[in-house]
Amino acid sequence: MPTATGVESRLGAAEVARAVLDQGVAADVAFESALAKVTQSQDRALTRRLVHDLMRDWPMADALCRRLIDRPFKRRDRLVFFILAVAITEMRLSREPAHAIVHCAVEATRLAQAQHLAKLVNALLRRFQRDKATLEADCGGSLACQWGYPEWLINRFKGDWPQEWQALLTAGNASPPLTLRVNTRHWSRDQALLALADAGIEAEAMPGLPDAVACAHRHAIRSIPQFDQGAWSVQDASAQWAIEWLNLAPGLRVLDACAGPGGKAAHCLERADIELVAVESVPDRLSQVADGLTRLGLTATTVLGDASQPEDWWDGQLFDRVLIDAPCSATGVIRRHPDIRWLRQPKDLDALVALQASLLRGLWSLVKPGGILVYVTCSVLAVENHQQLELFLETHTDAKALSPPQGAQLPPGRQMSVGWQVLPGEHDWDGFYFAAVERLPAE
Ligand SMILES: C[S@@+](CC[C@H](N)C(=O)[O-])C[C@H]1O[C@@H](n2cnc3c(N)ncnc32)[C@H](O)[C@@H]1O
């Protein structure tokens, strides 16, 4: 029988779903307040799973709820609509017995102070259980219902990736792997792998990525040996490959222009004895950079500022390397953040593309002649990636595109007109775009 906290998990999931889908709040932010009320750790995990499943099933769950309900709920009862949607997705996708799901949804409705709807929720879910196949067939005709994405994004993927769009959508609905980065200032990857094996954690070194370890299963971070001592970070393979494009060497002066929360800044400092300046425009994210570096025993100069306006914070000394890990649509990491597909709107793209262009423009003059600017996104959209770099190269005659870094192993993905694109799920990496341009000395 479900526990009282199982009921809390369902209510928490409905609250997070409402925050994401009605108010445009990121699920990670909404989880913070919803999970405070869910006491058991396994129930918190359940809340997350329920929300992630609903994000991947929302068009269908929404259509089914509307179909089942004769008259729309009053505005003040909107939370109950989400309790129903969570239950319907759970009945569609999980192995939990239907009667337990219905019971939890009814109790969650009571817990949400909507006792007057408890009987109705029970009746609607029983009806769904009885007529599931017919209702699903009636509601599931659209591409959005079939794939669990908004129609505009499906069309965007189709336009940019006419051969790969279905694989792209499938990858975004899959569970992401747990990939770790070894802090090689703390210990070697071989030592780190032995410690994992001693702790009973199945993992292996990732070919072509000198610091990466792929775990066979997901684990709580606290169970990773010496995590708190700064021996590891959690970082996807694509994000780890990004710093190979910088071709770091001791003594270089490096700018990480969009640094928060600090994953790549830390990786650079673990790799080489460099002087690093980390700029970030959001105070909380800059604090995350500082906290992360402290945990890992690393130091950098951290600056709160708008990287596209260097005149406000730059000390006038040129950089050998500039990394722009640009704010983007994050369409390459939807498998990690399934809510992204509902948070992003077509109009956001124009603003992001303009910001990326201004970062490239504003930071180019900070690169030393002979130095390298690396541009990275976790997007799969052409406008943010190779098309952005094509425009940059057209307008900057002192810029020369460089080839991908040479490693022992061929990375996943493909060469674009400029730069390299990995799509999510290829070799189980996140979807990322990478480009490096050298600043040619003045003639
Ligand atoms: C993709 S994230 C960077 C991830 C980071 N490099 C890492 O590896 O952990 C982009 C970051 O750029 C920041 N950002 C957005 N606009 C910015 C601007 N104009 N100047 C500086 N940072 C900016 C965002 O707040 C966000 O933290």
CATH class of 237-439: alpha beta
Q: How far is the CA of 435 from the centre of ligand 1 (A)?
A: 17
Cβ distance 363 to 322 under 8 Å? yes
Give, using CA atoms, the residue closest to atom 11 of ligand 1. 258
Angstrom distance (rounded) from CA 252 to CA 341: 39
Residue 43: predicted pLDDT: 82
Dump the DSSP string for 351-389: HHHHHHHHHHHHHHTTEEEEEEEEEEES---GGGTHHHH
Q: Which CATH architecture describes the domain 179-234?
A: 2-Layer Sandwich (3.30)
Give, using CA atoms, the residue closest to atom 12 of ligand 1. 258
Residue 5: predicted pLDDT: 64
Q: Which atom of ligand 1 is nearest to the CA of 261?
A: 9
Distance of CA 212 to the CA centre of its chain: 18
* Residue 215 among the catalytic residues: no
Angstrom distance (rounded) from CA 130 to CA 124: 10
Q: How far is the CA of 117 from the centre of ligand 1 (A)?
A: 44
Q: Which atom of ligand 1 is nearest to the CA of 327?
A: 10
Cβ distance 262 to 181 under 8 Å? no
Query: pLDDT under 70 in the chain at which residues?
Result: 1-5, 408
Residue 2: predicted pLDDT: 47
From 235, 236, 254, 280, mutation site for ligand 1 pocket: most ligand atoms within 8 A of C-beta: 280
Angstrom distance (rounded) from CA 246 to CA 433: 14
Cβ distance 105 to 87 under 8 Å? yes
Amino acid residing at 207: P
Q: How far is the CA of 382 from the centre of ligand 1 (A)?
A: 20
Q: What is the pLDDT of residues 11-68, one digit of tens each?
A: 999 999 999 999 999 999 999 888 877 777 778 889 999 999 999 999 999 999 999 9
Angstrom distance (rounded) from CA 146 to CA 133: 15
User: Pocket around ligand 1: residues whose beta carbon is below 6 Å from it?
Assistant: 239, 258-264, 279-282, 285, 306-308, 325, 327
> What CA dihedral angle connects 125, 127, 131 and 136, to 10 degrees?
-40
Residue 4: predicted pLDDT: 60
Q: Which atom of ligand 1 is nearest to the CA of 262?
A: 9
| Cis omega (within 30 of 0) for bond into 369 | no
Segments making up each domain of the chain, as ranges: 4-148, 179-234, 237-439
Distances from the Cα of 72 to the Cα of 58, 75, 139, 300, angstroms = 17, 9, 17, 55
Residue 33: predicted pLDDT: 83
Residue 3: predicted pLDDT: 52
Q: Which atom of ligand 1 is nearest to the CA of 282?
A: 25
Q: Give domain 4-148's CATH superfamily.
A: NusB-like (1.10.940.10)
